[in-house]
Amino acid sequence: MTFVLSLGGSIVAPPSGPDVGFLVDFRRRLEAWLTAAPDRRVILVIGGGGPARSYQTALKDFRAAIGETGPCDEALDWLGIAATKINAQLVKAAMGSLCADPVVTDPSAPLTFSGKVLVASGWKPGFSSDFDAVYLGERCGARTVLNLSNIAKVYTADPKLDPAATPIDSISWAEFRAMVGSTWTPGANLPFDPIASARADEAGMKVICAAGKDLDNVFRILDGAPFVGTGIG
What are the tens digits of pLDDT across the range 103-157?
A: 999 999 999 999 999 999 999 998 889 999 999 999 999 999 999 998 899 998 8
Burial of 59 by CB count in 10 Å (0-12 exposed, 13-18 middle, 19+ buried)? middle
The length of the chain is 233
In 10 A of CB 205, how many CB atoms?
22
**C-alpha distances in angstroms, 72 versus 88, 116, 138, 184?**
25, 38, 31, 13
Nearest to 98 by CA among 120, 129, 121, 119: 119
Predicted pLDDT at 210: 97
CA end-to-end span of the chain: 21
Quick one: how far is CA 39 from the chain centroid?
Answer: 23
Domain spans of the chain?
A: 2-232
Instruction: Choose between 161 and 174: higher pLDDT.
Output: 174
Closest CA to 93 of 181, 27, 189, 180: 27
Give the separation between CA 200 and CA 210, rounded to whole angstroms. Answer: 17
Question: What is the third-level CATH fold of 2-232?
Answer: Carbamate kinase (3.40.1160)
Nearest-angstrom CA–CA distance, 102 and 119 = 8
* CA atoms within a 13 Å half-sphere pointing along the CA-CB vector of 46: 32
pTM of the model: 0.94
| Distance separating alpha carbons of residues 50 and 17, to the nearest angstrom | 7
How much is the pLDDT for 127? 87
Q: What is the Cα–Cα distance from 132 to 138, expressed in whole angstroms?
A: 10
Over residues 29-36, the mean pLDDT reads: 97
The mean of the pLDDT values for the chain is 94
* Selection from 121, 129, 130, 52 nearest residue 89 by Cα: 121
